[in-house]
């Protein structure tokens, strides 16, 4: 890897992705506590997706002859959440991750690291999708607010989510 600054930022992004996975795992447990197995499934799929993202960064650092330096994770915080607050937290978190990716992309460009700049394009597109998915569920939850039948239908829909190809 030609830039130590880019290498350090990529290592930090590995931590961000692993932290995301940890957070989604906690959200899955909270959804299960709320007796919403579809929501729990959706968050579990997010957990697996975030692990795959961390793995992509991990492998990329190694491919570029860089050194992977794993960092300590913080305990996730999810307490007495509602379905809506879980998804609002998920959207805020995805917006945070988008900002991290954008800063990393800016750094790669500043360091003239064209390979990393191109590598990050997939993540930019992925983040647009991640934010849109969370926003879509938030919109549905707001539409059915106070309607248990509507919540049941959303839970059933979220239960159908399967791992994506290549994740």
Q: Three-state SS string across the chain, please?
A: CCCHHHHHHHHHHHHHHHHHHHHHHHHHHHHHHCCCHHHHHHHHHHHHHHHHHHHHHHHHHHHCCCCCCCCCCCCCCCCCCCHHHHHHHHHHHHHHHHHHHHHHHHHHHHCCCHHHHHHHHHHHHHHHHHHHHHHHHHHHHHHCCCCHHHHHHHHHHHHCCCCCCCC
Give the separation between CA 134 and CA 144, rounded to whole angstroms: 16
Q: Check if the beta carbon of residue 90 is closer than 8 Å to that of residue 134.
A: yes
pTM here is 0.94
Over residues 117-130, the pLDDT tens digits come to: 999 999 999 999 99
Cβ(68)–Cβ(58) under 8 Å? yes
Dist. CA 30–CA 79, nearest whole Å? 7
pLDDT of residue 35: 97
Position 167 pLDDT exceeds 70: no
Per-residue model confidence as pLDDT tens digits over 76-102: 999 878 999 999 999 999 999 999 999
The CATH classification of domain 4-72+80-158, taken from the options 2.60.40.3880, 1.20.1260.10, 3.40.50.970, 3.40.50.2300:
1.20.1260.10
Contact 14, 61 (CB under 8 A): yes
pLDDT category, 1, cuts 50, 70, 90?
Answer: low
Tokens matching residue 122: 């997939």
- What is the Cα–Cα distance from 63 to 92, expressed in whole angstroms? 31
């Amino acid at each position: 890897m030609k830039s130590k600054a880019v290498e350090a930022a990529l290592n930090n992004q590995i931590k961000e992705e692993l932290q995301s996975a940890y957070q989604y795992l906690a959200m899955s447990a909270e959804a299960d506590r709320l007796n919403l197995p579809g929501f729990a499934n959706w968050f579990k799929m997010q957990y697996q997706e975030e692990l795959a993202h961390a793995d992509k960064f991990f492998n990329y650092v190694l491919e570029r002859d860089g050194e992977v330096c794993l960092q300590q994770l913080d305990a996730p915080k999810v307490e007495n959440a509602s379905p809506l607050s879980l998804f609002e937290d998920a959207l805020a978190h995805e917006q945070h991750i988008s900002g991290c990716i954008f800063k990393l992309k800016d750094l790669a460009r500043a360091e003239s690291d064209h390979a990393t700049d191109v590598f990050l394009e997939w993540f930019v597109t992925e983040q647009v999708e991640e934010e849109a998915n969370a926003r879509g569920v938030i919109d549905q939850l707001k539409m059915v607010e106070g309607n248990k039948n509507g919540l049941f239908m959303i839970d059933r829909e979220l239960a159908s989510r399967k791992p994506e190809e290549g994740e």
